[in-house]
Structure 1
Amino acid sequence: MTMPRRSTRPRRIAHAAAALAVAVGAVTSVPAASADPLDDGQWWRTAMGVDELNRAGKGSGITVALIDGPIDSSVPELEGRVASSTTACLAPGGGVRPSTVKGVLADHATSMASLIVGSGRGTARGGRGITGIAPEATLRHYAVTFGDPRDPEKLSCGLEDPSVNVVGDATAKAIRQAVTDGAKVISISLSTDYSNDYVPALLDAYRAGAIVVASTNNDTRQVRWPGLGNGVVTVTHVDAKGNLDDSATRRNNLVDFAAPGTAIATGTWTPSGWRSDGISDGSSQATAITAGGLAALWSAHPEATGNQVLQAARQAVGMRAEGGKYFTWFRRVGDDLPASTGKTESYGFGIVAPADAVKLDVDGLPLTNPMVADKGVVQPTAEEIAAVTPAAGAAPPASASPSASASPSGAQAPEPATDGSVDAAGEEGVGGGSGLVLLVVGLALLAVLGAAVALRLRTGGAKAARDGNTHDAGTDGIQDFDNTHGQAAATDGVAALTKEHSNGVDR
């Protein structure tokens, strides 16, 4: 069994400002790096138009469940903003583990919570801290991974025996509890092995109309559970130029959206206490920002269903027009932008842009989850999902493409790649809808190991991604992470190049 992983990496605070200067140098919509790491690490707020989004919705009335490790709800950003914190993980000495703690073991969950509901108060200069993308959402926290004080990256959770690690089971259990507690958006910045409980847990979420958002894995650049689940929103991460981070999943059609995840101010525990200006990278940050963005979007359209919110995010991914071509970007910049009609090679549908999605007639969008695959062997199946989806049979026709609007910041995008190597959408990954999951179950293996190997294929092609025990079939040996290559964007038949390469930031 592979160990569960949190999809984030800390940076040395002393290097944060210099590192971000490399990441944002050519993007005029993002303030230039300064001597203030907190300001620099919140570049994504300007890039995504979060202030504009929050004028429409701040998450009020939406419960967001954060499934992660233990949390420190006493940091200034989270004071009074965590409605509940629970865990089912057993402690070695008896009883359950504490779900709220101080110190490095609480780093990850505290950071993710701050990105979602952070108050803006903190320990940086002037008492400033991290401001969340959905600051008025109700946050409920569920701890399912606990690190060893001697090795915080070694994560585990025992449900019946503290010495038996079953983080997958614990995550599925937390999903079901979050649904019972009224969660509308479930944010999971973790990747685990398969659990038999994932399918019924996801069906519970879909029955309740909830959105489940999960991260990709930075260490392996692949997708594992729960991101492999059919209908789950799977997220990878980009830097301030819109380029994939060097640890991001590539050429993998399991990805649904990209979001900011490089050089992000998330806060961190140091020997002297909590520092709000701690900087880190990873799909964890992108997942929390995406989940919080969906909550803010939903709060602006409280009569919409979760699937309609996803339809809006799917239709209004960031895009900019330049020289008759269309490029992946953080906002929709330009006039008469085409609809996004499918998947790109590595960005999924594109960079999530809730500040533009909120402008759509969300209540009039289809009632089906656009992340669900309806062909092949899937977990859960499309039929199972349809059977539990509220009012799924009454889906209205798809709306017209989103109206375009220029970014209020007047963003100028980076130069496109010019190497000319344009791959048609779906050639390297697979174009089309959400993922297909092939579950290879050997009964004897289950009896001996108590594990299952999950294989999920994307509709319309042959590339695949497997769980954490193997590498992606679509990436093994074919991707040079130091080279730039052209990537086709899925717009109305128009191939657009998006620059994709390692960001080159010194860590």
Structure 2
Amino acid sequence: MSFTRTLRAVGGAVVAGALLFGTAPVASADQIRKDQWPLTAFGADDIWKVSTGKGVTVAVIDQPVDGNHPDLKGNVLPGKNFAGGGTADHADGKQEHGTAMASLIAGHGHGAGGSEGVKGLAPDAKILPLGMDFEGSGDSAEFGKGSMSYAAPLRYAVDHGASIVNMSFDTANTEPSSAEQAAVDYARKHDVLLVASSGNAGVETPRNPAAASGVLAVGAVDVDLKVWKYSNYGTHIKLLAPGVHIRSAGVEDPYRLANGTSDAAAYVSAAAALLRAKFPDLTAGQIANRLVKSAVVPDDKKDAKLPDPHYGYGTIRPYSALTTDIPPGSKNGPLPALGGESSPGSSKDAEQGAKTGSNKGMSTGALVGIFAGGAVVLAIVLGAVITVRKKNRRNDPPSGGAGGYGGPGGSGGFVPHPPNPNSYQQRPSGPGSYPSAPPTQPPGR
């Protein structure tokens, strides 16, 4: 094991100890919040001291959203249901994907101080739900096989105040229709940032809307910050975010657990909402620029030409995106200019930004600095971890994540605890996982 990897393992043990000793009362009181490993990995408590997404509206083109869920109530606008008519702020038991995505973006939790339930990365943002149709139900549901497209909902989002649009779905097509691409262009002309999931088939073929020109295509990483093996890839991928063992709000059951690039896209949309709240004068492209220039790539990718087909510009680091001194850059950032031509210097700037400064994998020296003087704490922590493991070996946490992913200073080494079964969880293989996955892979969303 290399010195860097050894230090990462040590860091993981230290953070595991902090979780055991520092947050045990909260975790035991609310397992749901404890299961939200991305919040800890992102350093959410420090992020919320800088921005909470207040004043930003994120449109969610998806199944309708349950605006009465205790973790979302008050943060969901009426919206419009393009499939069944009326508003889109209520959902039945078979329509929970939109609720799940909304909760990852703008959930505020419930209970004393919002300490229970699911909390989104941008808890003060507002959700504009835009309901779409699905063919089939439950695991057999697939977006876009019916007669509707996302063109009309996207235009509605733009005309009703959304500055970010989350599209956690992929259609049956590999390219957008002319009406859909026109709607994408319309959104971009109105300075709206578009985020879409890449898909969960583990293939290189682009899927619509992630394939549409001008959309931020997002893939998923697991708790070790490795690309999820079922995350679609290709030259169109721009960013990565957590998408494995993701706890979110449900409808038929209060909470669900699933894997998918859908969740990853929701986290990118939430990070964008944080940035739009703090930097209201930046364009959508410049917001994307901050996301890609603060993203982190593995050590073996730091000198590669970016975007990489699997890693894009890297995994998002919202705290760094909010606090790092990053020049605004060109209007379109890493996105192509309208008309298909690259913005002057945009791709080159994004590539250079992701390869330099705070965007590299953490160096050995940085890791030494972070963990210097922690030998005593480590001994105590390791003893506690060993004791816990002996008592419950089946719940061993996964190995430590890559450094450079977290809160202030980008400190990493986080060892997230995988979600534990409880009476409220919907397992990834349970009803309602979306979209249905090939039989050989874990269902994604």
* TM-score, with length taken from structure 1: 0.61
Total equivalences in the alignment: 350
Shift of 1:412: 2.5
Shift of 1:145: 2.5
Give 5+ residue unaligned stretches, structure 1: 1-23, 158-163, 321-325, 329-337, 375-379, 387-391, 415-467, 472-480, 482-501
Indicate which of 303, 306, 313 corresponds to 2:284. 306
Say whether the 8 Å CA contact 2:134–2:146 is kept in structure 1: no
Alignment partner of 1:370 is 2:357: no
Alignment of 1:346-365 (within 5 A): 346-362=310-326, 364-365=328-329
Match of 1:115 in 2: 104
Say whether the 8 Å CA contact 2:333–2:346 is kept in structure 1: no
Shift of 1:302: 1.6
Alignment of 1:480-495 (within 5 A): none
Match of 2:166 in 1: 187
Say whether the 8 Å CA contact 1:57–1:298 is kept in structure 2: no
| SS, match of residue 178 in structure 2 | coil
Indicate which of 187, 198, 208 corresponds to 1:225. 208
Shift of 1:99: 2.7
1:393-448 deviation digits (Å, cap 9, x = unpaired): 999x889754579755842279xxxxxxxxxxxxxxxxxxxxxxxxxxxxxxxxxx
Match of 1:315 in 2: 293
Match of 1:153 in 2: 140
Rounded to whole Å, the distance in 2 between the matches of 1:351 and 1:394 is 19
Rounded to whole Å, the distance in 1 between the matches of 2:291 and 2:55 is 19
Match of 2:69 in 1: 75
Rounded to whole Å, the distance in 2 between the matches of 1:226 and 1:203 is 12
| SS, match of residue 259 in structure 1 | strand
Describe the shift of the 1:103–1:244 C-alpha distance in structure 2 as closer, same or farther (beyond 3 A).
same
Alignment partner of 1:165 is 2:142: no
Query: Aligned letter for 2:413?
Result: Q
Shift of 1:354: 1.7
Say whether the 8 Å CA contact 1:57–1:299 is kept in structure 2: yes
Alignment partner of 1:200 is 2:182: yes
Indicate which of 32, 51, 58 corresponds to 1:57. 51
Indicate which of 258, 270, 280 corresponds to 1:280. 258
Q: Percent identity?
A: 25
Match of 2:430 in 1: none
Alignment of 1:385-404 (within 5 A): 401-403=356-358
Say whether the 8 Å CA contact 2:72–2:103 is kept in structure 1: yes
Shift of 1:139: 1.6
Rounded to whole Å, the distance in 1 between the matches of 2:304 and 2:193 is 21
Indicate which of 78, 88, 99 corresponds to 2:88. 99
Larger RCO, structures 1/2 (Cα 8 Å, 6+ apart): 2
Give 5+ residue unaligned stretches, structure 2: 1-8, 360-365, 367-403, 416-434
Describe the shift of the 1:127–1:43 C-alpha distance in structure 2 as closer, same or farther (beyond 3 A).
closer
Describe the shift of the 1:345–1:148 C-alpha distance in structure 2 as closer, same or farther (beyond 3 A).
closer
Rounded to whole Å, the distance in 2 between the matches of 1:26 and 1:219 is 33
Say whether the 8 Å CA contact 2:99–2:251 is kept in structure 1: no
Rounded to whole Å, the distance in 1 between the matches of 2:280 and 2:147 is 36
Query: Aligned letter for 2:194?
Result: V
Shift of 1:165: 1.9
Rounded to whole Å, the distance in 1 between the matches of 2:10 and 2:72 is 32
Match of 2:412 in 1: 411
Say whether the 8 Å CA contact 2:72–2:109 is kept in structure 1: no
Query: Aligned letter for 1:179?
Result: V
Shift of 1:364: 3.2
Match of 1:46 in 2: 40
Alignment partner of 1:214 is 2:196: yes
Shift of 1:279: 1.4
Query: What RMSD over aligned residues (CA atoms) do the two structures have, in Å?
Result: 3.8
Bigger fraction of residues in helix = 2
Query: Aligned letter for 1:217?
Result: G
Describe the shift of the 1:403–1:412 C-alpha distance in structure 2 as closer, same or farther (beyond 3 A).
closer
- Mean Cα deviation higher: 338-347 or 399-408: 399-408
1:135-188 deviation digits (Å, cap 9, x = unpaired): 111221101134645x5633467xxxxxx9223x2x111111111112111100
Match of 1:429 in 2: none
Alignment partner of 1:134 is 2:122: yes
Describe the shift of the 1:318–1:127 C-alpha distance in structure 2 as closer, same or farther (beyond 3 A).
closer
1:357-411 deviation digits (Å, cap 9, x = unpaired): 1123456332223032x7xxxxx6324x97xxxxx9999x889754579755842
Query: Aligned letter for 1:153?
Result: S
Bigger fraction of residues in strand = 1
